[in-house]
Structure 1
């Protein structure tokens, strides 16, 4: 038993040291380290022996977690970025599932979690209201970004010209007039903090959406409520309040994961 506990403790200690190195490389100021960090740089930042850091960096290089430039300086690898994106996507849906269920139970309308995929909105998670009349479950299907409240939310940080171009070039795109009307709605959503798609996808449906940002501030997904116009329209502000509360909890959960992984005590 003591041997197993010792092995577990050693493994945790080793993982903490690896995370500290990765965090040091990720936190490197580009102005100070334009070509990456040398072994000596990493050792100095972490307060460790150069020989120990050198061995750890070589192990990370072999696994593909870090890359080494011709100058023999180190930086995070693209493989690590790719893994982080995939892990972030899985974590996002895991955290969002119970929150969508709670939101649906509160507003009694179908809710969705969506992401942007090749210029269109892809629904990755949905929770039904179990009412006889409700919006359709769109999980795994895409719709044009300019025809949904989620699309407006996902594009809120894009430059205006990029939004216009995206709408015009979409396979199911619209006219120049539609593009400008959509942009006007996005601009209003930026001011208001949430989006409203009033009968632009279906003449009988109204959607309300909000962007979900990761710890860097980048929009990663959108949460939205959709339902029959006769039920949604009279209560848009109230429903938006519940939606924004859910979005904030989800964002806080995503941020807390990152903070717990970069605990200064690990350094």
Structure 2
């Protein structure tokens, strides 16, 4: 772990080609012979990679494992927070991720009310039809958002794509997204992005339910949603604050 930490902490401006055995030995305070043996073991397991120059760096396999572990940790940590949010707002809540250009719901908590949004776990919808889609695209460049919307839905007009973009831009200023009757004429959704420890948007949480119940409480629900996201990000080791708190546009 000390060797992996040393490789991860290496400044790419100082070590553009990775670290030598001597560099790693100095960083961890151990003998070169010991470090060399450990690096060979890490190389055999695929945790590190060696360049043609003989220098070492973290491998892509390690990054892939970290992403998978992060996904499992995300759902585990989100579950109790999603339940608490549902109990607070008394509407169904969802945890979603971006999958092949669409919004995939991976976790949901029901409100146990007679009239509520449906459980959507395991199903996908186009990004331009949900508050989660807006949240997941919040950091993308505007032109890329327009391209994704146009490619993701048959018959989406340029005006519809630009209307969606305008809603994403407004969400950046507000801190959370609002999808008012764009998925279903009777439903309203409020969403917010979830960032991992790198600051990247890795998921979105949203509240969805009958528009007549949610519309009078959009601001209050948005506040509850952002509080839940802050708690989830803290559990994930992320100290990135939502847009509304950082002042980013």
Give TM-score scaled by structure 2 length.
0.94
* 3-state SS, counterpart of residue 121 of structure 2: coil
C-alpha deviation, 1:172, in angstroms = 3.9
For the residues of structure 2 that align with 1:109 and 1:170, how far apart are their CA atoms? 28
* 3-state SS, counterpart of residue 75 of structure 1: strand
Correspondent of 1:116 among 98, 102, 105: 98
Q: In 2, are the aligned partners of 1:110 and 1:226 still within 8 Å (CA)?
A: yes
Alignment of 1:1-267 (within 5 A): 19-172=1-154, 174-255=156-237
| Cα deviation code 1:144-203 (max 9, x no counterpart) | 101100000000000000000111111446111110000000000000000000000000
Deviating runs (4+, > 6 A) in structure 1? none
* 3-state SS, counterpart of residue 197 of structure 1: strand
Q: In 2, are the aligned partners of 1:123 and 1:139 still within 8 Å (CA)?
A: yes
C-alpha deviation, 1:50, in angstroms = 1.1
For the residues of structure 1 that align with 2:228 and 2:33, how far apart are their CA atoms? 48
Q: Which has the higher helix share?
A: 1
Structure showing greater Rg: 1
Aligned to 1:16: none
Question: How many pairs are equivalent?
Answer: 238
CA distance 1:48–1:173, shift in 2 (3 Å): farther
| RMSD between aligned residues | 0.9
* 3-state SS, counterpart of residue 253 of structure 1: helix
- Give the unaligned 5+ runs of structure 2: 239-249
Give TM-score scaled by structure 1 length.
0.88
- Give the unaligned 5+ runs of structure 1: 1-18, 257-267
For the residues of structure 1 that align with 2:155 and 2:40, how far apart are their CA atoms? 50
